[in-house]
Amino acid sequence: MRLGRTIGFAALSMSACRMTEAVPGTGATPDARRLRSDIAWLADDRRDGRATGTAGNDSAAAWLARRHASLGLRTLPGEDGYLQRFVARSAQLAHAGGPEGLATQNVLALLPGRDPSLRGEFVVIGAHFDHLGRSPSSAMDPEARDAIRNGADDNASGTAALLELARLFAARPARRSIVVAHFTGEELGLLGSQWFVDHPPVSLDSVTAMINFDMVGRLRNEKLIVYGVATARELPSIVDSANTAPRLSVSAVGDGFGPSDHSSFYAKGIPVLHFFTDLHDDYHRASDDVERIEAEGEARVVAMAERVVRAIADRPMRLTPVRVAAPAPMAGGRTGSNVYLGSIPDMSAGDAKGLRLSGVRAGSPADVAGLRAGDVIVELGGRAVKDLYGYSDALYARSPGERVVIVYLRGGTRSTTSVILGTRGK
């Protein structure tokens, strides 16, 4: 990490000079040098890996707020300037005997639309700025123990992309308004985006789409993955049309649920996209540093994303949301089990005993059984469910094809349903 620190320092001093020269809104195209210097600042050892509730994370939030101010972005009503403060309560931390709650903040801003008749509708562009800090618990390199995980790609890259998009849209506003949302708490279970959708600064009914940037700094062989294209009828053609020459090799995937912040929005019925330049060997390791970022490639991703956001924000009609009946994801929740229910758990630690669902996959066993977003599962297959972990234990004790009884609370009423468990990867 010593090398990273030295290079990070050099990049920081350069970025400080450049920021005084560059007037926000000059330069009509994404700037690879600025992307790199922003990533270098966020992924510097001095941010200590930006873990939620730490000084490094708070320092990154304060820096993002200053960047919003220098871009001339507006604050949202009801928040503390650009900061949306809350106490993150993580089921993961609570289970591990960690702190009950972590005081933290999303960093939000508003870019008002230029069309008075469409300005009351919003496109949310989002990226999480938190990372793992020094914690080995969800790292892929626990042997590195308390080494700083700087998260240059995950997700300083998306954070920098968001700043660049904010600059481009401040220079040339869209017809609809844009909410810029830097989320905290993602690595602890999408806590910042879950807080945002549960305490929205603008009405969620007026949000026509959420576009998420998580890990966009490693474009290789021109290959970009865009998740969520089936979540609105118009998205496949919008994404394809935005891929102008020189074209990227785009893999468009339908599903709107995935392990990042767009899931929180899709669970509320909002069309989503997630831009992603794919996994790599440095993922969740101390080696995810700025030296391995492909800034020129990221600038191409941002250019395409700008066209997508403009198309969505400028079109006369809102998008038409679709509930995607996507196949069960391959990735199992636990090694050795392929049992599948299709529930999207809320990973924050609530007051209620049980597991709250933030959503349910269309066509999944949970959907067929009548479970819905907001339901709290308190019993599964005869086992009491007190939290996320009790739920996993109860579910993974069963096998695909088995019928199990689920007891759940909906609006305080206790109900029972029965469900035939499915198989992952089918």
The 10 Å Cβ neighbour count of residue 409 is 17
Task: Please identify, among the stretches 148-156, 167-175, 328-336, 349-357, the one whose residues bind Zn ion according to the rule CB under 5 A.
Answer: 148-156
Among residue numbers 71 through 90, which ones bind Zn ion (CB under 5 A)?
none
* 67/149 with CB nearer Zn ion: 149
Is the CB of 154 or the CB of 282 nearer to Zn ion?
154
Q: Which is nearer to Zn ion, 154 or 261 (CB)?
A: 154
- The DSSP line for 324-377 is --PPPPSS-SSTT--EE--EEE--B--SSSSEEEEEE-TTSHHHHTT--TT-EE
Nearest-angstrom CA–CA distance, 176 and 313: 5
Q: Tell me the residue nearest to Zn ion as measured from the CB.
A: 154
154 near Zn ion (CB under 5 A):
yes
Q: Quick one: 324 exposed, middle or buried, by C-beta within 10 A (0-12, 13-18, 19+)?
A: buried
User: Nearest distance from residue 90's CB to Zn ion, in Å?
Assistant: 14
Site stretch for Zn ion (CB under 5 A), options 32-40, 93-101, 153-161, 361-369: 153-161
Extract the tokens encoding 312.
């969505």
Closer of 13 and 138 to Zn ion (Cβ): 138
- The interface mask with Zn ion, positions 102-141, x = CB under 5 A, is ----------------------------------------
Output 168 or 191, the one with its CB closest to Zn ion: 191
With beta carbons less than 8 A apart as the criterion, state whether 181 and 125 touch. yes
Distance CA 168, CA 55 (A): 30
Please say which residue, 160 or 312, places its beta carbon nearer to Zn ion: 160
Closest separation in Å from C-beta 22 to Zn ion: 30
Start-end of H helices in 145-187: 158-171
- Six-digit token string for 126: 């989002």
**Secondary structure (DSSP) of 262-303:** HHHHHTTT--EEEEE----TTTTSTT--GGG--HHHHHHHHH
Q: Which is nearer to Zn ion, 217 or 365 (CB)?
A: 217
Range in contact with Zn ion (rule: CB under 5 A) among 19-27, 152-160, 270-278, 377-385:
152-160
For residues 159 and 373, what is the distance between their CA atoms, to the nearest angstrom? Answer: 29
Q: Pick the piece of the chain touching Zn ion (CB under 5 A) from 5-13, 146-154, 197-205, 222-230.
A: 146-154
Total of chain residues touching Zn ion, rule CB under 5 A: 1
- Residues near Zn ion, by CB under 5 A: 154
